[in-house]
């Protein structure tokens, strides 16, 4: 169970009302997902994962934002064993990165999992075009189509239409789950299963959290809300395990896109200690006092545990509110719980400050401008 080292006066009745609002929201499908996962789809995901592992040395995962950060976070943290290596593409518009990924795959056998809910996002679309060409060159059109796995909307979008027309295997991002809340759908489950993550255990952890995480999430969201009210406008997510760097990235996206709107929201940032004690550590200890720190305390070795204590003490003395979230285990179950805890905390936090946790108008603004520039 997630353990918090801080207390906050929670309004249980108010919390229950917010939970009800989330459950009723057209984008609140993630709330019960771990218990209500479509078993037919889950079986297809595991079959596809086996097929990919049997046929491919590489799986190229193409996607950006919520379509990639969650599964990368878990795969990088747990370093599972699989003969099939995961390569990421389509998460920037850098030609250098794309060329690197194409070169890395080289002449090896590979498959592609292209992930885009809208099916229209530019970054994955460009990378997919390049890898599709490579697949066709290597395996011919029919062989290539058998190595393409599309995770997208059930009914609409350019990717959906192409996948349906060409017969790629298709997996669904449910209508009622947005990108950054989708890691426990096919978006994350297929790449994680290929990489060797025990996805049953991950879902088990998340499923347990449906009951156990409610009170800690409400406590954490309430504490964030009160700190925000006291002008602490920056939250530093701190971890002492370097392998969780991408979990921090997922957290920044989750909170940044969910809360940062209508000129409101806490700015999320992240550090890995002790590494960053030798860089941002100075600012955190001594700089402007507008930030609070949320330590994600994974089970760790004795030496590292001492660093956790030292940081908690030094930063508290430096005038920083330090919140600590204790993670029960560094495995699939622990991460399942943690994912659910943060998704719930984030949605509750956004509701408390009065913004919609499930839209991202700011991301759309950049997409529109880029399209205008490219049209010129
Ligand atoms: O969380 C979100 O909704 C976004 O980060 C999206 O995941 C991201 O913009 C990618 O969108 P799509 O999956 O439609 O390509």
**Tens of pLDDT along 287-309?**
999 999 999 999 999 999 999 99
Q: Give the mean model confidence (pLDDT) for residues 38-63.
A: 97
Ligand 1 atom 13 nearest Cα: 116
- Could you tell me the two tokens for 13? 């009745």
Measured in Å, residue 318 CA sits from the centre of ligand 1 at: 38
How is residue 276 annotated by DSSP? G
Q: Which residues contact 103 (CB under 8 A, 6 or more apart)?
A: none
Q: Give the mean model confidence (pLDDT) for residues 166-176.
A: 96
Q: Give the mean model confidence (pLDDT) for residues 110-117.
A: 97
Q: Please work out, in degrees rounded to the nearest 5, the angle formed at the alpha carbon of residue 153 by the alpha carbons of 149 and 117.
A: 80
Atom of ligand 1 nearest to the CA of 65: 5
Residue 369 confidence (pLDDT) above 90: no
Among the ranges given (1-15, 179-193, 221-235), the one the predictor scored with the smallest mean pLDDT: 1-15
Which residues are identified as catalytic?
257, 278, 367
Measured in Å, residue 66 CA sits from the centre of ligand 1 at: 5
Residue 368 confidence (pLDDT) above 90: no
56 confidence band (pLDDT: 50, 70, 90): very high
365 confidence band (pLDDT: 50, 70, 90): confident
* Residue to substitute in 117, 177, 259 for testing ligand 1 pocket (most ligand atoms within 8 angstroms of CB): 117
Residue 94 confidence (pLDDT) above 90: yes
Q: What is the pLDDT of residue 370?
A: 86
136 lines ligand 1 (CB under 6 A): no
153 lines ligand 1 (CB under 6 A): no
Measured in Å, residue 360 CA sits from the centre of ligand 1 at: 9
> In the chain, what is the straight-line distance between the N-terminal and C-terminal CA atoms, in Å?
54
Give the three-class secondary structure for 266.
coil
Residue 16 confidence (pLDDT) above 90: yes
Q: Give the mean model confidence (pLDDT) for residues 221-226.
A: 97
Q: Which residues contact 357 (CB under 8 A, 6 or more apart)?
A: 22, 258, 259, 346, 347, 349, 350, 351
Residue 230 confidence (pLDDT) above 90: yes
121 lines ligand 1 (CB under 6 A): yes
Q: What is the pLDDT of residue 356?
A: 97
Please name the residue that has the structure tokens 């596809």.
Answer: 48
Ligand 1 atom 8 nearest Cα: 65
217 confidence band (pLDDT: 50, 70, 90): very high
Residue 149 confidence (pLDDT) above 90: yes
374 confidence band (pLDDT: 50, 70, 90): confident
188 lines ligand 1 (CB under 6 A): no
Beta-sheet strands, E only, within the chain: 3-4, 58-62, 85-89, 110-115, 148-152, 169-172, 234-239, 267-272, 291-297, 322-326
Measured in Å, residue 95 CA sits from the centre of ligand 1 at: 21
Atom of ligand 1 nearest to the CA of 66: 7
Give backbone dihedrals phi and psi of 148, rounded to 5 degrees, phi first: -110, 130
Q: What is the pLDDT of residue 376?
A: 83
Decide: 295 and 272 in contact? Cβ < 8 Å.
no
Ligand 1 atom 12 nearest Cα: 116
The Cα 132–Cα 232 span in angstroms is 47
The average confidence (pLDDT) of the chain is 96
Q: Which residues contact 273 (CB under 8 A, 6 or more apart)?
A: 238, 239, 240, 281, 307, 308, 311
Measured in Å, residue 110 CA sits from the centre of ligand 1 at: 25
Atom of ligand 1 nearest to the CA of 187: 13
Q: What is the pLDDT of residue 375?
A: 87
357 lines ligand 1 (CB under 6 A): no
Measured in Å, residue 290 CA sits from the centre of ligand 1 at: 30
179 lines ligand 1 (CB under 6 A): yes
Q: What is the pLDDT of residue 371?
A: 83
Residue 53 confidence (pLDDT) above 90: yes
Residue 363 confidence (pLDDT) above 90: no
219 lines ligand 1 (CB under 6 A): no
Residue 366 confidence (pLDDT) above 90: no
Global confidence as pTM:
0.96
Ligand 1 atom 9 nearest Cα: 65
């Amino acid at each position: 169970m997630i353990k918090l080292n801080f207390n906050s006066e929670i309004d249980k009745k108010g919390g229950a009302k917010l939970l009800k609002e989330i459950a009723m929201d057209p984008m609140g499908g993630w709330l019960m997902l771990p218990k209500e996962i479509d078993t037919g789809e889950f079986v297809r995901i595991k079959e596809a994962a086996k097929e990919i592992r049997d046929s491919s040395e590489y799986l190229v995962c193409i996607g950006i934002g919520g379509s990639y950060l969650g599964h990368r976070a878990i795969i990088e943290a747990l370093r599972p064993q699989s003969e099939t290596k995961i390569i990421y593409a389509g998460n920037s518009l850098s030609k250098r990165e794309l060329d690197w990924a194409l070169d890395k795959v080289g002449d090896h056998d590979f498959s592609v999992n292209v992930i885009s809910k809208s099916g229209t996002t530019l970054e994955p679309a460009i990378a997919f075009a390049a890898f599709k060409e490579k697949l066709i060159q290597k395996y011919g059109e029919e062989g290539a189509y058998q190595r393409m796995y599309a995770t997208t909307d059930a009914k609409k979008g350019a990717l959906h239409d192409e996948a349906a027309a060409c017969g790629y295997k298709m997996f669904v991002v449910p209508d009622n789950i947005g990108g950054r809340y989708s890691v426990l759908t096919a978006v994350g489950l297929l790449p994680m299963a290929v990489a060797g993550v025990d996805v049953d255990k991950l879902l088990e952890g998340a499923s347990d959290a449906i009951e156990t995480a409610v009170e800690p999430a409400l406590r954490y969201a309430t504490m964030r809300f009160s700190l925000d009210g006291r002008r602490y406008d920056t939250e530093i997510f701190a971890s002492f395990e370097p392998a969780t760097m991408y979990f921090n990235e997922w957290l920044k996206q989750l909170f940044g896109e969910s809360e940062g709107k209508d000129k409101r929201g806490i700015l999320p940032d992240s550090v890995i200690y002790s590494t960053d004690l030798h860089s941002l550590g100075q600012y955190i200890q001594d700089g402007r006092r507008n930030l609070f720190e949320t330590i994600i305390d994974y089970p760790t070795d004795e030496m590292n545990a001492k660093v956790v204590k030292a940081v908690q003490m030094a930063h508290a003395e430096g005038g920083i509110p330090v919140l600590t979230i204790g993670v029960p285990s560094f495995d699939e179950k622990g991460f399942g719980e943690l994912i659910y805890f943060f998704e719930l905390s984030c949605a509750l936090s956004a509701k408390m400050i009065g913004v919609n946790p499930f839209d991202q108008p700011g991301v759309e603004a950049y997409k529109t401008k880029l399209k205008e520039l490219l049209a010129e």
